[in-house]
Chain A
Amino acid sequence: MQPIDPNPFLIVGAVLFVCGVVCMTTKRNGIGVLMGVELVLNGANLNFITFSRCTPLGLDGQVFSLFVIVLAAAEAAVALAIALNFYNNHLTIDVDRGDELHG
């Protein structure tokens, strides 16, 4: 298995990451923000895997990406629970309405 050029993969990861960030900043829907977070995590995961393949790190990158996946699943579960509570309290999922902590 010959070495591969990591750049295209990294670029794709960067696109995923930036899209996640943009998604977080633009979406007023709480679920949309959650999706942005998932995109960001996936971008990071792609980087991990890429470096796992292209460097002597070996399995470390894959193991980390596994952890990230698991934690992302956990985060999604908790975030959804929070979103449901938010919805219960505000009768909407619009995150701009949850500004009780403004200064």
Chain B
Amino acid sequence: MNTTQLTLFWLFAALTCGGAIAVCVSQNVVRMAFSLVLTLGSTAVLFLLLGADFVGATQLLVYVGGTLVLIVFGVMLTATGPFTRIKSSAAGGILSGLIGIAFLFIVASTVTSVRWVDSDKGQGVASKIEFGTHSKAVASHFNPEQQGNTTRQLGLSFLSLRADRDLKFGIPPAPVEESNTAPVIPGESVAAAALPLNSNPKLSVGYLLPFEIVSVHLLVVLVGAAYLARTKRRTKS
């Protein structure tokens, strides 16, 4: 990471943590909502810093733009006054804080006790973890240039094509009649390579099925939510 990135990281890491703590500490639900917006937005920047441009964008769109609006709606609909407070007991807060600190200590100590970076090769130890038969190849051909340009690959993976593995490194040899043709752009090579997919059992798994399931799931959830939240006669408490 260069300096700019580091600076950005520290800035947004601080914003993220601060927002989170503010959410915990604040007693006002509207301020909590605002702090949450701050936290989620900063997290989106952290995603971008990690090269996940599409996920970061989605975070902003879905969370900050969608979920939070939903939450704010909830606040408005349930709060009898604009600044409703529901006080929690101080003892409970202190107890929860102590537990939280203990939890954080354990997690942090666990994280820091792992040597993520191999000192000899300067490469992530995690990259040596074997993921199937191509792990070596994958690790060795890890292409940093691909980072930050994930939208196309994600789209392909949702169509069950792993551009970052199978297509990129061309395990299936190209057909003879196509060997003389000019280098193709990744999308076209994908189309060409997609043909013999069935003939190669060693292809990596895509995400078409989970994608479809999630789609249906969303639909069901929206219908259910609408059903649950519909106007009903209030029962006498």
Contacts and interface: CB of A to CB of B under 8 A. Distances in A.
Contacts of B40: 38, 42
A28 B51 CA distance: 37
Nearest to B215: A70
Contacts of A25: 92, 96, 99-100
Contacts of B124: 3, 6, 54-55
B225 A1 contact: no
Interface of A: 1-12, 14-23, 25-32, 34-36, 38-39, 42, 45-46, 49-59, 62-63, 65-67, 69-78, 80-85, 87-94
Interface in B135-192: 135, 138-139, 142, 144-145, 147-148, 150, 153-154, 157-158, 162, 164-165
Contacts of A67: 210, 214
Majority DSSP secondary structure for residues of B touching A: helix
Contacts of B116: 5-7, 54
Given A7-B116, A69-B58, A31 B29 contact: yes
Nearest to B219: A74
B214 A71 contact: yes
B147 A69 contact: no
Contacts of A15: 16-17, 20-21, 104
A76 B70 CA distance: 8
